[in-house]
Structure 1
Amino acid sequence: MGARRAERSIQQLPIARRAKREETMPRPAPLVRSLGLLLALALGGCSQVPRSAPVEVNLAVINDLHGYLQSNPFSYEEPAGGRTTLQAGGLAALGGLLTELRRQDPELLFVGGGDLIGASPPLSALWADEPTLKALDLLGLKLSVVGNHELDSGRQELLRQVRGGCASPRPQRACRFDGEHRGTRFPYIAANLIDSASGELLFAPYRIETVHGVRIAFVGAVPQDLPSMVPRSSLAGLDTLDEAEAINAQLPALRRQGVDVIVALVHNGGRTDEPFDRQDCRGLQGEIVEVARRLDPQIELLISAHTHEGYLCRVGDRLVTQASSYGRLLTHLTLRIDPASRRVLGIEARNLLVDPRRYPGDAGMRALEQRVEQRSGALLEKPVARLGAARIPRAADASGESAMGDLVADAQLAATRHLGAEAALANYGGIRGELALEPGRSRVSFGQLAAVQPFGNRLVVLTLSGAQLRELLEQQWRDGEFAPLQVSASLSYRWDASRPPGRRVLPGSLRIDGRPVRDGQAYRIAVNAFLADGGDHFTVLTRAGQRLDTPIEDRQALIDYLQACDRSGAPAGRGEPARRFRPVGRPVVAGP
């Protein structure tokens, strides 16, 4: 099943622990329910409709919202050529689109694909994402699968966010928006997230909804590779199982409950070069493809997430969808169901652009957004420092280097030099945006910096041998992709993707402070705690000779560095990468 699959099988989890009955009332037999549905159609004024007329169930799906309450840029290729960039998403537009869809079908089910909170911009993160959860309740979200970023601050914080209360590991944020937090009206689900001490599921594995007389079950799964995506401290006491096995294991219980349709919600995804709105695309690649192939044939729809891609693809006969990220797309699915056989006759899928110009607003959502902006404005607009360029982009060049990554790594080295650090390395995924001076302003604001580094990761100084440092850089190539670390100005090397795995860093090219790195020599390297714990599969860091955990947060390191450079008269940051690691031969485009 691939190297990433854990040895522990779903069969090790007792069936009694895997699922709890969602309802206590007796359930009618399938034949009785079929007759009941036909009778209801006739009594409802549908006597002119043939008895075999399909029932339509409509779903609206959002994934990877990440607390984006405001609209944000969305780019896509036009069919006729050229690229369009516009503002999309935002609470008001999302509410307006849902209102329109509910006008067409009042029983529309609105569901989430995970990462609705976490890694959020400061407008939501300042308040422990409670405004986002409140908005999702107001928008009528029925349920969501758990994503990796829901667990950024650990299980207790996620349980508090769901159940309510103010006892939080983030007391400076929790219950600060409304003075209280009552929890969510919608549940989270996950069939493969286990409390390792008790063997119990942390959340219910599925949720059953009845719409237009059809019983539809949503079964959820987190990425099995969750330990590489979340800080080690946040996953303490939790374990994950194989996604497909965990979902398939729920089917006997769902069949006993007379469920008609089963939908898989998996917070994992893939990638394709095809347009976000192309029907039945066939170019999907990535981990979600393997999951889709191993799901039970009864599951005809797989809603995916995590990779921030928009697609409506087929894996075999199974439809696999995703709605990009940040609330800019919404997947609208119409399932046509035969009321007699309870079979899915077909699924129509569309990825709709959440366009504020077309859906200008839901008044309630606009009012909530404005209230959050007013409450947050004073802190977020506070000027911090000048920049060395009007814009410091996050996007990596063909070599995998990012101007924003250069700046972050330099800041982390500056913050840890007094602790002996000689170089710093930053993971690209921990940098969530770019910096750019707003019109009429000479300094970047705190809000912009908080959006770039929202996690509050503490810095760690590790002792690595030269051989380990070289091994670490070789771990940037995995599963056919290049996932480059961003490096401080003190470190440089060259690489060649045509060389065999494990030997792509060119001999003699790896240097620190201009001096060749020696395999047997010790070096002090600064990274964030996520990387130090082996995050993003950089496992060599867990074998460091010494580890010094510091109280320095990555965001504060960046603020301090920018301010120090500003005071010195040489503001930091460049408009393009500094060419610290370069390929030989044909460059390979970096992964996301």
Structure 2
Amino acid sequence: MPRWSVSRRTLLIVIGLAALAVVVAALVVPRANVARPPIDVQLLALNDFHGNLEPPSGSSGKIDEVDAGGAEYLATQLRLLAEQVQRPDTITVAAGDLIGASPLLSAAFHDEPAIEALGLAGLDLASVGNHEFDEGSDELLRIQNGGCHPQDGCADPARPYAGADFQYLSANAFVTATGEPLLPPYAIREVQGVRIGFIGMTLEGTPDIVTQSGIEGLAFRDEVETANRYAAELQEQGVQAIVVLLHEGGTQAGGGGINDCTNLTGPAVDIVGGFSDAIDVVVSGHTHQAYNCVLDGRVVTSASSFGRLVTDIDMRIDPSSGDVVEARARNVVVGRDVAPDAAQKDLIGHYRALLGPVAAEEVGETSAPITREAAPSGETPLGNLIADAQLAATDDEQGAVAAFMNPGGVRADLDAGPVTYEEAFTVQPFGNYITTLDLTGAQLDCLLEQQFVTERVLQPSATVRYVVRQAGTPGTGADPCAGTKVDGITIGGAPVDPAATYRITMNSFIAGGGDGFSVATQGANDFVGGADVDALTAYLGANRPVGPPATDRITLG
């Protein structure tokens, strides 16, 4: 073989290898210096739906002076917001109280209709609120997993309840017997190769505001400590984008709009301030307020209540680190000027037919609207009316001389004109029973002093009068009787004797220490009567037309 041919072959090989190296360098080196573009993720959020399948009535049906709410319109608004981004990476979440304290259409079927409606609307994940425990933890697990109600059976035997299409999360509600969370503490969702963690938080104070039987066997741990613990656990799994679904909230100062954050106060402010830097976004609830905040460098939102708002949150995530590099939010009104969703319309019609004619039965009449608008004393016309109704139901049979109603148990206003059973039920949807018990005058005084510890004003019947001394000193949680705010209590015009015994009526929730009124549990000779809504309907029927009571039973001195 000629010498030149070997040299030429060798030369060609060398040249080829060199060219290949250039190509490889061109392919590899620049790619190492080009960062992947950020990934955009849309979260759609709501809170405190409370089974409002149909548009809420009266003032509860408006937000920003716009008629809002209703599952038919909520589902459409969620779809329209998702379509705006034109990506298949929208995650729909909620911050608790989706059920409980619901209107009759949902409550009559143990809130199965509300859960079905939210599943149809595309809800993916939700934290557990305090009202999810209204019927107890076993019932909450049934709501999650499906099956017919153990006492009432299937609402529709032809279509047994299949459970929620979304996952409930509760990181800080623990089963005391096992030390394990009642439900999964968090969930991970992957979008375009990045993973996002969602931690569900129930407010630590749940035992103070629900019926004790509803949380028997459970313990509720600190929100900050628990959220930070699970955020660290998520980071150990390589999840850097973390969202907390927090059923606790705050309140803006007067004048703040749905997308403002005007001097926000409340428990959520301190809770968010204690969260670790690993937590990027907080969807909150519980206070039924609307706000759009940035607190401690993270977005914190709330979408009011009853499905009247949806929060549209846009997160931008660095695919290299997996962390959120930008987040912004806006609250959007769920107006009724969009096409109603057909599937929701069919669902509502189905349960409306199952409910039958009882909903439309006329039970009374009002001469003017009777509302929950509070006077400076904290009294409301509707709260006072309910106290009067409960006293009327127990004065003859049980010898009751006074009655008190918790303001949180009054859930809707009454419009002027005929009142249907459904409207009365919507005002008092909890299914509490009227309880009459003995309290001494000293215990009654202490119960009223406890209002300034719990920060909830009991609504008194017309037989009660007393003065609140604004310069007085409130008691403490350990000793509410040490307070000096309440003075001059009279019942039926006669001063209350600390040593005498009085028959006092209240609902079973307060009697069991609900809303923090532990003094009520000291009562003796308890008698549990009929349902509170039955007392209301009887009173409306016997006194038609009923006008709004004056709010003059508590005097500020």
Matches within 5 A, 1:377-416: 378-387=357-366, 389-416=367-394
- Picking from 442, 455, 475, the partner of 1:467 is 442
Partner of 1:499: 472
Matched, 1:160 2:125: no
Partner of 1:344: 324
1:284-318 residue CA offsets vs partner (Å, 9 max, x unmatched): 11111121111111102111110000001132222
1:75 Cα offset (Å) = 6.9
Matches within 5 A, 1:110-509: 110-169=92-151, 171=152, 174-176=154-156, 179-273=159-253, 275-278=256-259, 281=261, 283-357=263-337, 359-376=338-355, 378-387=357-366, 389-417=367-395, 418-437=397-416, 443-478=418-453, 482-502=455-475, 503=483, 505=485, 507=487, 509=488
Contact 2:244–2:282 (CA under 8 A) maintained in structure 1: yes
Residue identity matched to 2:263: G
Distance 1:185 1:67 in 2: 16
Distance 1:364 1:506 in 2: 54
User: TM-score w.r.t. structure 2 length?
Assistant: 0.88
1:95 Cα offset (Å) = 1.3
Matched, 1:550 2:525: no
1:69 Cα offset (Å) = 0.9
Residue identity matched to 1:500: T
Contact 1:189–1:204 (CA under 8 A) maintained in structure 2: yes
- Picking from 531, 548, 554, the partner of 1:575 is 548
1:73-126 residue CA offsets vs partner (Å, 9 max, x unmatched): 6979x9xxxx95221011121111111122123220001111001100111111
1:167-209 residue CA offsets vs partner (Å, 9 max, x unmatched): 435x17x534864111112111111111112222110100111
Distance 2:389 2:201 in 1: 37
1:236-271 residue CA offsets vs partner (Å, 9 max, x unmatched): 111111111111111333123221311111111111
Contact 1:293–1:315 (CA under 8 A) maintained in structure 2: yes
CA 1:563–1:277 in 2, change beyond 3 Å: closer, same or farther?
closer
1:488 Cα offset (Å) = 0.8
Contact 2:385–2:549 (CA under 8 A) maintained in structure 1: no
Determine which structure has the larger helix proportion and give its number.
2
- Picking from 78, 81, 85, the partner of 1:98 is 78
Alignment gaps of 5+ in structure 1: 1-46, 585-592
Distance 2:193 2:77 in 1: 25
Q: Which has the higher Rg, Structure 1 or Structure 2? A: 2
1:560 Cα offset (Å) = 1.9
Q: Which secondary structure does the structure 1 equivalent of 2:163 belong to?
A: coil
The percentage of counterpart residues that share the same residue type is 39
CA 1:239–1:84 in 2, change beyond 3 Å: closer, same or farther?
closer
Distance 1:372 1:167 in 2: 16
1:497-537 residue CA offsets vs partner (Å, 9 max, x unmatched): 23222455453x21011100111211111111111121111
Q: Which secondary structure does the structure 1 equivalent of 2:390 belong to?
A: helix
CA 1:275–1:456 in 2, change beyond 3 Å: closer, same or farther?
same
Matched, 1:525 2:504: yes
Distance 1:334 1:314 in 2: 14
User: TM-score w.r.t. structure 1 length?
Assistant: 0.83
Distance 1:339 1:84 in 2: 38
Alignment gaps of 5+ in structure 2: 1-30, 476-482
Residue identity matched to 1:275: G
1:128 Cα offset (Å) = 1.2
Distance 2:294 2:64 in 1: 26
1:107-150 residue CA offsets vs partner (Å, 9 max, x unmatched): 20001111001100111111111111111111111111000111
1:490 Cα offset (Å) = 1.1
CA 1:133–1:490 in 2, change beyond 3 Å: closer, same or farther?
same
Partner of 2:22: none
Q: Which secondary structure does the structure 1 equivalent of 2:124 belong to?
A: strand
Residue identity matched to 2:512: D
Residue identity matched to 2:170: A
Partner of 1:9: none
Matches within 5 A, 1:30-109: 51-72=35-56, 84-103=64-83, 104=85, 105-109=87-91
Residue identity matched to 1:278: N
1:539 Cα offset (Å) = 1.6
